[in-house]
Amino acid sequence: MTMTELSPTLDEWSKLYQAVIRVKKIAPWEWMTETDIFGVQNPETNQLGFISFMGMLGEHFAVAVYLNPEGLYSFWGFQRLADTAPSEVLFEVLLGLLHLQASFENRNELHQKDRDLIKELGLKFRGRQAWPMFRSYRPGFCPWYLEAWEVCFLTHALEQAAEVALRFKDDSTMLDTSNDSSYLVRAPRKEKGTLVWTDRIVTVPPPEAKLIPIKIDVDALAAVEKLPQVRQRFEMDCFILPTRIAEKDTRPFFPYMLLLIESNSGMILSTELLQPHPSLEVMWGSVPMTLVSQFARFGVLPSQISVRSPLLIQLLQPLAEALGFELKATPVLRSLDQARESLRQVLA
């Protein structure tokens, strides 16, 4: 499918702007919090989106539509981390939230493409936090302009969000359900060619864990098994870099860095950039063999590697057992964090 085929029509954009203008006028964040969640069903695909209003604190006004159970449960995970996790962790988690967002920004925060569209539609906005901006968030990728289906679904979501917000103002119990995994969902049906929306209570179980395909080069692994082991301890982490990479006619992405440090000296042993293509799962699945390649380059095996990511523990445990090094889970990687901060300053 070409970029043109994915592009919304001017009429589709117009309907979206009218919907978001109504939400701004209603200002539901004055009486609803981020966690007053409800769902909207996509009339075209039956996909579920879960609405969250931001702005009660008066800092950032926005409406998020978290897509599918994956987006919903990632949102709740982010909420649990919000008050305790370091900012770099929150940044990475935020970029991993599968959602569409309509926000209200200052004019200078919009890209030229946004301003050109507003001008073409004949719309005018004035003042701080008054200019609508729409972005699509997908794990591993930069926030990006909406595709046609996203514009259409977000339009329906905002229209229903306005209706629910006005009802919630009069009845703050309307979103209460019998358990934490059930949600009020606005569901459409067609009657004489017109969409009619009704309330349903839908149970939304957590999504199944995605499988991570791990490919092993048996010959490369066998060669590394013969390497001598030295009494050195390494620290290792894999994290997102806030450096946008754009290739022609593709959605820009943030690369991940696989960083390996010698614990005692703090020396950077290797930096590997990983791309979230064709998916994050495939990228994570490449980590074990990337580490094997580094061992082959070093010519030795460490006695211990410390990591803090539960995912890295799962990915590397079979490798640790095969090669005979200790894999240590620890919440603090002092040498690695110092090196990471140095890299951040260089890349800033």
Higher pLDDT, 85 or 167: 167
Its domain, for residue 97, covers: 3-203
229 and 190 part of one domain: no
- Tell me, what's the pLDDT at 5? 54
Please state the rounded mean pLDDT for residues 264-271. 94
Residue 213 located in a structural domain: no
Q: Does residue 208 form part of some domain?
A: no
* Residue 137 and residue 236 share a domain: no
| Same domain assignment for residues 336 and 244 | yes
pLDDT beyond 70 at 188: yes
Structural domain count of the chain: 2
pLDDT, position 348 = 65
Give the Cα separation of 327 and 334 in Å (integer): 17
pLDDT value of residue 2: 44
Q: Is residue 118 part of a domain?
A: yes
Q: What is the mean pLDDT of the chain?
A: 93
Q: Measured between alpha carbons, how far is 308 from 127 in angstroms, rounded to an integer?
A: 45
Co-location of 42 and 159 in the same domain: yes
Asked if pLDDT for residue 12 goes beyond 90, the answer is yes
pLDDT surpasses 80 at 87 = no
Distances (CA, A) of 325 to 234, 303, 305, 331: 10, 5, 7, 19
Instruction: Provide the whole-model pTM.
Output: 0.89
Same domain, yes or no, for 249 and 179? Answer: no
Distance CA 152, CA 279 (A): 25
Residues 199 and 231 in one domain: no
| Pair (50, 77) in one structural domain | yes
**One domain, residues 179 and 229:** no
pLDDT band of residue 3 (cuts 50, 70, 90) is: very low
Among candidate residues 297, 288, 343, the one with its CA nearest the CA of residue 319: 288
Look at residues 147, 172, 203 and tell me which one is the last residue of a structural domain. Answer: 203
Identify whether residues 33 and 97 lie together within a single domain: yes
pLDDT tens string 100-114: 999 999 999 999 999
In a domain, 165, yes or no: yes
Judge if 155 and 106 occupy the same domain: yes
**Interatomic CA distance for residues 196 and 53, integer angstroms:** 24
Q: Is residue 209 part of a domain?
A: no
What's the rounded mean pLDDT across residues 273-286? 93
pLDDT of residue 1: 45
pLDDT tens for each residue of 107-144: 999 999 999 999 999 999 999 999 999 999 998 899 99
Q: Are residues 175 and 151 in the same domain?
A: yes
Closest CA to 23 of 149, 137, 158, 120: 158
